Amino acid sequence: NLYDSIEDVFNSEFDVIFGLSEQYTRHGIALSTPYLETETVLFYNKSIDAMRLEGKRYVSIKGGTLPEGVQEEQTIYYSDREATMDAVESGKADYGYGNAYSVAYYTLQNGYKNIFTIPTGKENRHYCMGVWDKDVILLSILNKSIAAIEKSRMDTLILDVASQVDRKITIPIIIGAYGIQIFALIFLIMAVLTYFVLSSTRAKKRYEMENKRYYLLSQLSNEYLFEYQIKGDVLKVAEKLGEKLDFFSNKEEVIRLIKLSMKELDTQNLKDNAYTIKLPLSNGSIGIFRVLFSYLREESGKIHSVIGKFVDISEEEKEKEQLIAKSQMDGLTSLYNAATAKEMIEKSMSGKSVYTSDSLIIIDCDNFKEINDTRGHLTGNSVLKNISSSLKLTFRQTDVIGRMGGDEFCIYMQDIPSVEFARSKCQQLMHRIRETNKAFPVDISIGIAIFKEPLSYESLFKQADVALYVAKKNGGAQTVIYDEEIHGNGQ
């Protein structure tokens, strides 16, 4: 059901309230995860100075909170946002605040002539769904449903609804529609001569209104319109995109990248007119954009220009990269997990030169089970974190360090200068671990496998594992380097 005011909503027998913000909620009502965030804009009558609002008549929706500095006696209340904007348009009030979507929507719908708008930058409003706070299951379902919709998809849905504006039928529109019939007798002789002029004028006005609507909507979204005229090699972009890209400074580079991308698209014979492009931003960084476009063709079929839009997906791509990086790490130690460590080691082994020596080191904590049993798992986790910190401080940044599971770690060192270099690194590690864990002894056993000729990952790991077994068998707290003659037959 639709209601005329917030009070009517709260007095009804509702299950879910759609479009509720924190400013208008009530006690006993729980809010869902926000599905829309929009900035607050100032709308004011063009007859006043927006920089001097003291003492002016402020307009607000009933039930809302007053902004800082606005007095109750200066406030006029109405039941909904449209009524507040009508009041400012007619001069019954001087100014008010509203979210960017609703202000743009009613401006387009009602064709306000006396209202100016300015983004305030003060407050971002979050719009949610409201349910009774005792209805936990319904709130959970709503939150999961909102979370399941990607932000770009949610923005597209909201913009699609906001763009479907039906202008109200007013007296001037009626006069415009039936003016010919009303004044038919007077202008009968001129009707034929003026018909084409009137048609052209109306078409132009409709075109200008459509442009204005799409301009307002593009200003509220992360989408930027463009037109590339192939004949004149001219690229026209939305003002907002020009500022984001510093277009005038990077104009030649932007045009070159777009033309290059379209050539690559033609060679791929893709069905969808869409691709991803990286463009230099005005802040010096690189932005990632999804480009959607259509060809405008001449009667002969030849392409005249390309019209489309850039959709900024930089944040989405950044989040994807962070998720990928997170999936590669061990949650406790922040080292590479076993699968990632193996993948990186195999990649390093495949590109290894036969003229260099690499080594695989496997480490195992000697008394870790005893630590867990006597001191608890929290202490055990602390020991594992200390070992991982010692590994990072001891080995080189180019070395691959991973946790294989439990209290077992591995290090892959490329291009080591000598066997003693690997051994000395392990001695440093033992010393650093003992210094880090002074409250009780923590010792490690180490197995090292060194190779120069091509070798599989499994074979190399087995050699290091054999050396580790020997170190543990001999009492632990020592380093053993695999030797084919000594350990090759299982000794």
With H, G, I as helix, E, B as strand and everything else as coil, classify residue 38.
strand
- Give how far Cα 412 sits from Cα of 131, 350, 391, Å: 55, 13, 12
Q: Is residue 30 part of a domain?
A: yes
Tally of domains within the chain:
4
Q: Is residue 161 part of a domain?
A: no
User: Does 267 lie in the same domain as 199?
Assistant: no
Place of tokens 């170190």: 471
Half-sphere exposure of 450 (CA within 13 A, CB side): 15
Q: Is residue 77 part of a domain?
A: yes
Write out the DSSP string of 220-281: TSSEEEEEEETTTTEEEE-HHHHHHHTHHHHHHHHHHHHHHHHHHHHHHT-SSSEEEEEEE-
Tokens of residue 145, six digits? 């449903």
User: Does 354 lie in the same domain as 266?
Assistant: no
pLDDT at 233: 73
| Final residue belonging to a domain, choices 162, 185, 219 | 219
User: Does 307 lie in the same domain as 241?
Assistant: yes
Whether 289 and 311 have beta carbons less than 8 Å apart is answered as yes
User: Does 89 lie in the same domain as 44?
Assistant: yes
Q: Is residue 479 part of a domain?
A: yes
Q: What is the distance between the alpha carbons of residues 58 and 88, in angstroms, rounded to a whole number?
A: 9
User: Does 15 lie in the same domain as 90?
Assistant: yes
User: Does 369 lie in the same domain as 296?
Assistant: no
Range of the domain at 202: 171-219
User: Does 376 lie in the same domain as 337?
Assistant: yes
| Final residue belonging to a domain, choices 115, 150, 185 | 150
| Final residue belonging to a domain, choices 255, 283, 318 | 318
Q: Is residue 392 part of a domain?
A: yes
Question: What is the CATH number for 14?
Answer: 3.40.190.290
pTM: 0.43
Quickly count helices (H) and strands (E) in the chain: 16, 17
User: Does 260 lie in the same domain as 247?
Assistant: yes
User: Does 352 lie in the same domain as 482?
Assistant: yes
Q: Is residue 157 part of a domain?
A: no
Q: Is residue 162 part of a domain?
A: no
With CA atoms as reference, report the closest residue to 367 among 474, 465, 440.
Answer: 440
Mean pLDDT per 10-residue interval, the chain, length 491 residues: 74 83 82 85 92 91 83 90 92 90 84 88 79 88 88 77 63 62 71 73 71 62 73 72 65 68 52 69 79 79 79 81 78 90 93 91 92 90 93 94 93 94 94 88 93 92 94 92 67 45
Question: What is the CATH number for 235?
Answer: 3.30.450.20
User: Does 197 lie in the same domain as 145?
Assistant: no
Question: What is the CATH number for 420?
Answer: 3.30.70.270
Q: Is residue 108 part of a domain?
A: yes
User: Does 16 lie in the same domain as 64?
Assistant: yes
Q: Where are the alpha helices (DSSP H) in 409-483?
A: 419-436, 457-473
pLDDT at 296: 78
Other CB atoms within a 10 A radius of the CB of residue 352 amount to 18
User: Does 229 lie in the same domain as 179?
Assistant: no
